Structure 1
């Protein structure tokens, strides 16, 4: 009797939604497993050379990048979050929005821009020589170094720390801060003794995103000549034509990233603070006057200028010089390629994200669905170069197993049909950015709760009918948010696109990289501005949706 009841319960849960969720989650896991299993194979003759001359240096360079960028991102992100959340000063609402805009500029584009601006023939030194009559010391403008890479990463990744920390301060820390103020504590005491300790979980969450972005980068480190783990994978793959050693390097990097991901989750869980009441009042801002107000404006203006205004203005100037040479039929084709692969990937990605999120909610966050969502969340933490190797290996393996079918169809037994198609690139995009869409949809489901869907199910409507008639109209804002965020990420993604695109398939990101690699920085400004425009519009809509939800 008990066995039949358990069987009926299993059959009841195993509907189409659950089956698609399981298949999608484990399909996303296969490339990662392929890479990890590559660590247990026998190394080839090149591995001894890589281990002796490449491995340690790449690991140390990546570690310094993560530590340096993480530290400065915390300093800038947390200070700006506290400034805009706790104080009112001139132009605060303007800075509240523009501090998110650096996310619209991919770090590799910022690296090309600042590298050219600060070079001997760049606009900065040319202005100093021709207008001011000063010949500066070149050592002060040498950005093509580890320090320069940390400078670029910090300026264009600190918004991750800023956004998460600011949201926590405004919604969760008001009671603690108000109590400290009522007890007569000064601003420094409140910040260091109250704000920082209770915000540790939010800060760690933001820093972890910064670390994942740094480890995923290829454009900045390649342009600045830094031997990071990602550049080592590219050199091993394309320089030594050694896929096995590249997979081994990718496996080591992925092991480190997984460890970082687990550590971040554990630390955030232990450092989390919860309010004793469900009624959370917003933080009351104190008005700054006089010198403190102007100091806040000056600090905010410097960060905004360095992280968005100056590089964008420089790119606009360069674009006016070269747009006639760049705009042609091929450029229009690149825009079409970028939009095509983005919309196809996002459509599949958001469909799977909605299905998994709905299954997770319907299952009351069971252990099984919790594990399912954790598998999905890991995709974004895997560097693009690592994921691309796993996806490529899986697709080549599929093509080899379908060789007999290809031969019977007259295409040839050794044809790489799937491995040379857009399907592989789309699959990689879906795996890497699925967690971005899922998190947005999950937030939408959490906001509406289960009352309406449970009422619909009690009235006899099935899961599918309930979703389309009840849930979807209420979470369409969350779905749109996920669409916007993933669209911005896919348009500016470089490592995955470089490695997995079909032959002669160019996107805006790959064209900007190609121009920069050929020392045609001025020509790179045109596709770079298109990427930034897409990102800026996405940030605007994301901000607008956030403002609507908060009102």
Structure 2
């Protein structure tokens, strides 16, 4: 009891504007999610009984199989490539070190449309084989419009999550272990499975969890390929059956599954420690490969780069060149501004809130800091369709509460203002992607010794002055990283944008989806290419920053 009173007094002393803003932001993030979970407490309707009896099993099994297969292959490819480019030296290694990150700039749903058209009977692959080599493939031999195609596409365009995290971990944390193992005679496969894989487990798990969350939240790939998943089921129930209650119930069950995965991952890692036993660290020195091994490594990296970036980008660019005059309209500039402007506003809000929250968590007790961090980052583990349902419900409730004030202001009776505004979409973005900004700043604060802030306070500087003069300059790199990653994620987001955008508010992502849904794949190439370019610039900046840090 005495400890609780002491903790309460400590919290009250720290309860300044920073902490109030942080906990307010946490409440805003948590409110739509709690609303969705409350759907489990309501009485089910007749539609839900039918969905549960005839469709739910297929939805659950489809999601489970897609998560397991994509997670396994994306993690395997990402870790293998990370170990190749960090542990060995071979031709074009420096190029592949950053080039293998570039598929992150291509949204998986755009890759799905592209590969679906490329591998069809009239696509470039089969047409070339027939016309140039007189080879006619049996129907369905290489076509990707299937469950296997969904696994293929999601694997190729989600492996960079594992690759980036594993590369950073292996370069900084594995040098002493790998060098000792090499001195003791471990070579290649034995070294990888006995040393690299165990020590890289935290990086592998972190990357795999990102892949799992992305697969669960995907709608573009699964809807285009006809794969039955829970995320797709939410859209079908809402817009196909016009049953919001059943959609909320599906969203709640999917959210419980995501929370279960998250809790299980934390439970399995509760007693494990993966940090180095020494404060001395040095970069991992790659071993030079020779002969066939060197060219084999280069060939593997080339194949992945070709399939995951070069081939789809070249194909999209060629289609865009063919359809440019037909597709280009005066509203394309507006779409680009909508995509960039919405992502920019949301990213700035995310970083401001993340900055206040990360600083608040730094001065709170460990339990309160952990709770605040988990609340702020919970949105990233929740599929965009679920967040959209919760945000829409909350904004409609706010509009109903504010209707008397709307009438007094002369806006009319029964009018909706907030739930038809851009603010609703921005709120959805903030809840969904707060984790990307917060995690970057949390890592940045961990690198700043507390003694710096304490010395500033001892010299008479207040909280705000200490933040501006001492902490903020040291957080510039983390702010830049958080901005780039968050901006790219928001620009590519599809389900959330489809559900929450205002009337006649199109982005590059939604226009691409509209063209592809109408089977106008060639016309979808131009907005797809523009979206890739908008995403590619920040990704290239991020890779250059990474190379600068390693240098």
**TM bucket, shorter chain:** over 0.9
1:495 and 1:385 map into 2 onto residues whose CA distance is 6
1:80 and 1:546 map into 2 onto residues whose CA distance is 17
| CA-CA distance at 1:9 after TM superposition | 4.4
Corresponding residue of 2:299: 298
3-state SS of the aligned residue for 1:20?
helix
1:8 and 1:499 map into 2 onto residues whose CA distance is 44
| CA-CA distance at 1:5 after TM superposition | 8.5
* Bigger mean CA deviation after superposition, 167-176 or 22-31: 167-176
| CA-CA distance at 1:95 after TM superposition | 0.5
* Bigger mean CA deviation after superposition, 255-264 or 303-312: 255-264
Go from structure 1 to structure 2 and tell me whether the alpha carbon gap of 1:4 and 1:69 turns closer, same or farther (over 3 Å shift).
closer
Corresponding residue of 1:506: 506
Corresponding residue of 1:93: 94
Corresponding residue of 2:285: 284
Corresponding residue of 2:476: 476
| CA-CA distance at 1:7 after TM superposition | 7.8
Q: Does the 8 Å CA contact 1:201/1:271 hold for their aligned counterparts?
A: no
Corresponding residue of 1:467: 467
Q: Does the 8 Å CA contact 1:201/1:272 hold for their aligned counterparts?
A: no
Q: Does the 8 Å CA contact 1:205/1:264 hold for their aligned counterparts?
A: no
Q: Alpha-carbon deviations, 1:73-108, whole Å to 9, x = none?
A: 122111111111110001001001011111110000
1:238 and 1:369 map into 2 onto residues whose CA distance is 40
3-state SS of the aligned residue for 1:278?
coil
3-state SS of the aligned residue for 1:402?
helix
Q: Alpha-carbon deviations, 1:103-150, whole Å to 9, x = none?
A: 110000000000000011111111111111221112212211110000
Corresponding residue of 2:57: 56
* Bigger mean CA deviation after superposition, 390-399 or 325-334: 325-334
Corresponding residue of 2:528: 528
Corresponding residue of 1:356: 357
Corresponding residue of 1:248: 249
| CA-CA distance at 1:493 after TM superposition | 0.3
1:71 and 1:315 map into 2 onto residues whose CA distance is 28
* Bigger mean CA deviation after superposition, 213-222 or 337-346: 337-346
3-state SS of the aligned residue for 1:138?
coil
Q: Alpha-carbon deviations, 1:405-456, whole Å to 9, x = none?
A: 1222232342111111111000000011111001111222222222322111
Q: Alpha-carbon deviations, 1:489-528, whole Å to 9, x = none?
A: 1111000000000111100000000010111111111111
Corresponding residue of 1:394: 394
| CA-CA distance at 1:362 after TM superposition | 2.6
Q: Does the 8 Å CA contact 2:146/2:227 hold for their aligned counterparts?
A: yes
Q: Does the 8 Å CA contact 1:198/1:272 hold for their aligned counterparts?
A: no
| CA-CA distance at 1:11 after TM superposition | 4.0
Q: Alpha-carbon deviations, 1:316-374, whole Å to 9, x = none?
A: 100100111222211111111112211211111111010001111233x5211210011
Task: Verify: 1:148 aligned to 2:142, yes or no.
Answer: no
Corresponding residue of 1:485: 485
Q: Does the 8 Å CA contact 2:350/2:434 hold for their aligned counterparts?
A: yes
| CA-CA distance at 1:10 after TM superposition | 4.5
Corresponding residue of 1:196: 197
Unaligned runs of 5+ in 2: none
Go from structure 1 to structure 2 and tell me whether the alpha carbon gap of 1:162 and 1:5 turns closer, same or farther (over 3 Å shift).
closer
Q: Alpha-carbon deviations, 1:220-266, whole Å to 9, x = none?
A: 00000111111100010001110000000000000000111112223
| CA-CA distance at 1:544 after TM superposition | 1.7
Q: Alpha-carbon deviations, 1:378-425, whole Å to 9, x = none?
A: 111100001100100111111111122122223234211111111100
Corresponding residue of 2:45: 44
* Bigger mean CA deviation after superposition, 131-140 or 222-231: 131-140
3-state SS of the aligned residue for 1:539?
helix
TM-score by length of 2: 0.97
Alignment map for 1:392-471 (pairs within 5 Å):
392-471=392-471
Alignment map for 1:42-121 (pairs within 5 Å):
42-121=43-122
Aligned length: 550
Q: Does the 8 Å CA contact 2:14/2:363 hold for their aligned counterparts?
A: no
2:11 and 2:70 map into 1 onto residues whose CA distance is 48
3-state SS of the aligned residue for 1:185?
coil
Corresponding residue of 1:185: 186
Corresponding residue of 2:208: 207
* Bigger mean CA deviation after superposition, 208-217 or 68-77: 68-77
Q: Does the 8 Å CA contact 1:512/1:527 hold for their aligned counterparts?
A: yes
1:496 and 1:231 map into 2 onto residues whose CA distance is 13
Task: Verify: 1:314 aligned to 2:318, yes or no.
Answer: no
| CA-CA distance at 1:304 after TM superposition | 0.5
| CA-CA distance at 1:273 after TM superposition | 2.1
3-state SS of the aligned residue for 1:141?
coil
Go from structure 1 to structure 2 and tell me whether the alpha carbon gap of 1:156 and 1:6 turns closer, same or farther (over 3 Å shift).
closer
CA-atom RMSD in angstroms: 1.7
3-state SS of the aligned residue for 1:522?
coil
Q: Does the 8 Å CA contact 1:319/1:525 hold for their aligned counterparts?
A: yes
2:144 and 2:88 map into 1 onto residues whose CA distance is 34
Corresponding residue of 2:330: 329
Q: Does the 8 Å CA contact 1:201/1:267 hold for their aligned counterparts?
A: no
| CA-CA distance at 1:172 after TM superposition | 1.5
Corresponding residue of 1:170: 171
Corresponding residue of 1:339: 340
1:458 and 1:131 map into 2 onto residues whose CA distance is 78
